[in-house]
Structure 1
Amino acid sequence: MSFLDDFLIRAVIAGIGVAMAAGPLGCFVVWRRMAYFGDATSHAALLGVVLALAVEMPILPGVAIAAVAMALTVSLASGERYGADTMLGVAAHAALALGLVALSLMPNVRVDLSGYLFGDILSVSRADLVTIWVGAAIIVGILLWRWSRLLLATLNEDLAVSTGVNTDFEKIVLTVALALLVAVALQVVGALLITAMLIIPAAAARAVTGSPEAMARLAVLIGILSVLAGLEASYHLDTPAGPSIVTASVVALVLTSMIGAIRGRKA
């Protein structure tokens, strides 16, 4: 029997792959206050699934195209007549509603909707593992390539502009990375919980770290531990795996917040 024949082993490997990409990317989402932006992009994933099924193309490209299109549309449309928060709210719920309506109008298509909404990490195949890890490697590679410029454009946009950094391009880079994560993480935690995997480990790391690099590393570690703890709880308590992983990350957030508060009182 092969090592990868065990569905729990595949689930752990898949979850670790997503956590390694979501950790540092989630830091930028937290720093830029882009949580709702992540929601809009992840909700577009369901619409991407429906479009992919409609034209009989692979799910991953369909989700990636829809997520990128949503992210770029919101970025370009915000600020002209409506505020960014309004545009993000409209985009997030419109994409989710359109996806559900479109799916209901496709009588010949039978799909496990809960799997796309909440993830089904326990059904990850070997081919899915390759997709997840290749996608995660691309995301990490993009962040390493643009790290200093992305960081400067995020934390001090005026300084970034004065030093010749194209902040609009850096935002597009971040948008594409976020859309790619949505595409590869869809099966692991589902469209409704992708943003949680992005922001909760990063927020937990922020409470106890003092530098961007340390925060990114700790966010990855918290994400991995949340995957392991969530899958362990799911196995023993017979709870949904995706929500169990997110719940474990919430516990980590509470603990690090308490540690941060204690440190603050002692300082």
Structure 2
Amino acid sequence: MKNNIMLVVNPISGDVDKSELIDATTIFAGNENLNLVIYNTSGASDIENIKVLYETYNPERIIVAGGDGTIKIVAEAMENHDVIIGIIPAGSANGLAVDLNLPSTIEENLEIAFHNDYMEIDMISINGKKSIHLSDLGVNAEMIKNYENSSIRGKWGYAIQTVTTLIDLDDPFTATITGDFETIKCTARMIVIANSQKYGTGVSINPNGVMDDGKFELVILKNLDLVVLGKIISGNMPLDSEDVEIISTDKAMVRTNVPVSFQIDGEYCGTETNLNIEILPKQMKVAIPNLISGII
């Protein structure tokens, strides 16, 4: 009797057709003498449906073809199960895949997803919602809201909305941040809650982030003028300046003086004035390239 592998596909992520990816995964599984169980997300009851399929087929691994949001759906469905998740990057911006240094071709990613070792990465709880990668308050969340309301997808769409958002920039907000550190009260353009280093665009926002260290970082961007933005985009994060402050911790509370746009893993979540944040250590097993095993 063949063992099972499960493929979870987000058919609309990245605004690209997934048929080639599904065909390649089906062939790969066949060559490995594995039975492939395919589930297409719909946005309705996906977590419960994935749980049922897991209980029915008990797959050796679950392969995710989508972006960070799809990965998070699978991770939440599997929070009480010991299963390795493989990633085939197929979203508009594949932040976790970028941080894991996953390759660009389907074939290379299939080899990693089916066979490679794994690392146990942390997740972050923000007001009871889970984040696997990068969440934030402020400018970037506003940009994601604009992106979701636009018709242009992919990195080009992100670039257009970045410019549009900066042109229409609101006044900065005031934040009070408390935790096991000295209370911080500051004016900010953006506060990032980071479990890793890079956005899916490749921009490094938290250069020293580690995904399995039991900590997250609060990256406070107090200024985001064109000079600072240019440094961030070019990979020269201004760490030793009055424009940026980074706090590494396992728990924090953020309060803002006005409602501020908020996003989790690339999904706009409306506005918030209060965030209760804590680390959830070693929540998910993710297949990784051999070269980074034991390093991240």
Q: Does the TM-score normalized on the shorter chain lie above 0.5?
A: no
- The answer to which structure has the higher helix fraction is 1
- The answer to which structure has the higher strand fraction is 2
TM-score range, shorter chain: under 0.3
Task: Compute the TM-score of the two structures, normalised by the length of structure 1.
Answer: 0.26
Task: Compute the TM-score of the two structures, normalised by the length of structure 2.
Answer: 0.24
Q: Which gives a bigger RCO, structure 1 or 2 (Cα 8 Å, sep 6+)? A: 1
